[in-house]
Amino acid sequence: MCDSLTGDDAAPPALSYQSTPNNGQQCGGCQYYVPDQNGDGMGACTLIAGQIDPEGWCISYAVYNG
């Protein structure tokens, strides 16, 4: 079994992850985002398992204040 977050039907329902930005907010600017490590353009999230699109978004979005 192979889970993917890229399909519309595969989003984790708890956090309502989507692969598109929401009103200018996106994973790439979120404090929980882990940047791409292997060059495939997909990062990760400390809250959600699987590959995370830097242009994605979820309801747990929190601005990184660095």
Q: Which chain residues interact with ligand SF4 by CB under 6 A? A: 17, 27, 30, 32-33, 45, 47-48, 52, 56-58, 60-61
* Closest separation in Å from C-beta 13 to ligand SF4: 13
Closest approach of ligand SF4 to the CB of residue 38, in Å: 17
Closer to ligand SF4 by Cβ: residue 20 or 38? 20
Distinct helix (H) and strand (E) counts, the chain: 0, 2
Which of 41, 58, 40, 39 lies closest to 49 in space, CA to CA? 58
Closest CB 57 distance from ligand SF4, rounded Å: 5
Angle formed at CA 59 by CA 58 and CA 61, multiple of 5 degrees:
75
